[in-house]
Structure formats: C-alpha cells, structure tokens
C-alpha cells in the first residue's frame, strides 16, 4: 500500500457513482476502484443484521485490491455499519458519506436548523441527527424519508410533473421547520437536485453528501501525505455483483460519460 494505491469506494448499487464523480472532480489523479452491490441493492429497506453482513462482504471485496483508504458511499451502511467496515479493513482510514455530509452541514448552517432527507433505513437510524448533534448539540435536526426518490431518479423521471408532486409531498413539512440547510442523505438524490431545490426554495442551502465526502477525502489524503503524486488520470475500475440490464444507461445518467469495462464479482 502506497500513495499510488487506489481509493476503494463501495455502495449498495450504482448511486455511489455520484461520489466517484465528485472525487474525480476534486482529485483527478487518484486511482479509484468502485464496488456496487447491484445483486443485493437496495440495502435501505433491509434489516440491520443483513446490512452489517453485507458491509463486511463489500469491504472484503475492496480489500483484495489493497486500497489506501475506503469510502463508504452508501448512507445506509454509513448509518448502521461503519464500525463493521472499520473492523474489516485493518489500519487504513475509512470515510463515510454520512459523517462528511453531517460535518459540512454543521459548518454551513447559520440558524442551527438542519433538514435531512434519505432512505427509510437512514432516517429511522437517526444517524444524521446523532452525527450532527455530536458536533453541535444545539442544532435542531428534522428528517424525512423519501423512498420514491431512488426509483424516480433511476427511471429518469428527473423533470416529470409526478416527481415535482412527490417532492412537494415529502418536503412540505420542511417549510414549517425553519431550516436553512438541507442534507441530501442518499447518493441518488443529487440526480434530483434541481427539483428538490425548486421545491424547498432557493433560500435553503443544499448539502450534497458526495461533494462533502470528496472534500473530506482531499483533506485526509493531504494531511497524511497520501495524495497520489503521479499526474496521470485513469477511468475508475468498476466491480459489480450483478450486471443489470439498465447498467449502461444508469452509468450514463450518473457519470455523464460512456460506461467503461466492468468486472463481475460473486457475493
């Protein structure tokens, strides 16, 4: 393991590609290896015991490639099983989208009222509120599960009137809650950032967890002298546990570029 070792990133499916894209933008010379557990997606509605087992499996798959750090791009695993990832990967640093997003939101809020949207499991775990209040116990956190946002994003219903109606349904209560900052606590949600922004209002700052984790990764590699010093760029190395029929279309939706080769791994 050295500065040229890859950064390992995993998610329950392809949503974590928003994290890959944010890290590519912030750190173009890093080698990235991404595992998407497309055979077992989604993790959100599953039980904690199952999610913790999957987190250990996912970490083991990335560890075979000797990464210099691991990024948990899955909010559900960040919320319920970050300790499992830390235990499974020895001494290398682990960054979860959740703590990164929570920390950036705490820095940004001015009125100490933060909203969080995510999957049912992330919201029920209360992990964002816990992470935010660990940093600042005076902040009020209001959370809302938006389970239809993932299928709407994946089906490309980005600008559809139905998506606007569903966004209004989910986000209505935030208007009364006086928040000035909203955390997108699911890696799919950046795809719907525009409709979420229009619905919530332009006076509320939106925190994209993918951008927050890229910022934190950059800081951490810098501080530890582990930035890749070779000035070459490479396409991310993609691993998936199943190759869904829509994979290529979804890759295009998330990354805005053609899908590279993909390796299939068994889970």
Distance from first CA to last CA of the chain, Å, rounded?
25
Nearest one of 79, 134, 120, 100 to 19, comparing CA atoms: 100
> Which position among 25, 243, 252, 263 is part of the footprint of a second copy (CB under 8 A)?
243
Q: Within 13 Å, how many C-alpha atoms sit on residue 184's CB side?
A: 30
Q: Which residues contact 210 (CB under 8 A, 6 or more apart)?
A: 18, 19, 21, 22, 73, 97, 187, 190
Shortest distance, position 120 Cβ to a second copy, whole Å:
6
Pattern 45-84, binding to a second copy, x per CB under 8 A? xxx--x----------------------------------
For a second copy, which is the closer residue by CB, 3 or 120?
Answer: 120
Q: Which helix or strand (DSSP H or E) is residue 91 part of?
A: none
Q: Is 124 a catalytic residue?
A: no
Is residue 165 part of the contact set for a second copy (CB under 8 A)? Answer: yes
160 in contact with a second copy (CB under 8 A): yes
- Stretch near a second copy under the rule CB under 8 A, chosen from 69-77, 110-118, 226-234, 238-246: 238-246
Name which position in 1, 60, 107, 151 contacts a second copy (CB under 8 A): 151
Take residue 13 and report the two structure tokens written for it. Answer: 């499916």
Distance in angstroms (rounded) separating the CA atoms of residues 248 and 82: 29
Instruction: Establish if 244 lies at the interface with a second copy (CB under 8 A).
Output: yes
What is the Cα–Cα distance from 2 to 96, expressed in whole angstroms? 21
Residue 186 designated active-site = yes
**What is the contact surface with a second copy in residues (CB under 8 A)?**
38-40, 45-47, 50, 120-121, 124, 147-148, 150-152, 155, 157, 160-163, 165-166, 169, 242-246
């Amino acid at each position: 393991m050295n500065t040229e070792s890859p950064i390992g990133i995993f998610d329950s499916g392809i949503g974590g590609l928003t994290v890959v894209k944010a890290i590519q933008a912030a750190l173009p010379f890093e080698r990235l290896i991404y595992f998407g557990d497309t055979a077992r997606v989604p993790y959100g509605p599953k039980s904690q015991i199952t999610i913790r087992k999957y987190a250990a499996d996912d970490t083991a798959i990335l560890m075979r490639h000797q990464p210099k750090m691991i990024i948990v791009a899955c909010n559900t695993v960040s919320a319920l099983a970050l300790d499992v990832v830390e235990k499974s990967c020895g001494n290398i640093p682990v960054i979860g989208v959740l703590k990164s997003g929570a920390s950036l939101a705490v820095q940004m809020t001015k009125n100490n009222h933060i909203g969080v949207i995510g999957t049912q499991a992330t919201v029920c775990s209360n992990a964002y509120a816990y992470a935010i209040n660990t940093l600042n116990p005076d902040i009020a956190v209001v959370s809302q599960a938006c389970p239809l946002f993932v299928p709407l994003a994946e089906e490309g219903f980005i600008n559809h009137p139905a998506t606007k109606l569903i966004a209004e349904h989910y986000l209505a209560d935030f208007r009364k809650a006086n928040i000035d900052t909203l955390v997108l606590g699911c890696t799919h949600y950046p795809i719907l950032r525009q409709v979420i922004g229009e619905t919530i209002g332009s006076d509320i700052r939106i925190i994209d967890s993918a951008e927050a984790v890229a910022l934190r990764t950059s800081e951490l590699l810098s501080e530890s002298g582990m930035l890749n010093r070779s000035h070459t760029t490479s396409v991310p190395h993609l691993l998936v546990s199943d190759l869904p029929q829509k994979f290529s279309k979804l890759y295009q939706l998330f990354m805005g570029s053609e899908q590279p080769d993909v390796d299939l791994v068994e889970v």
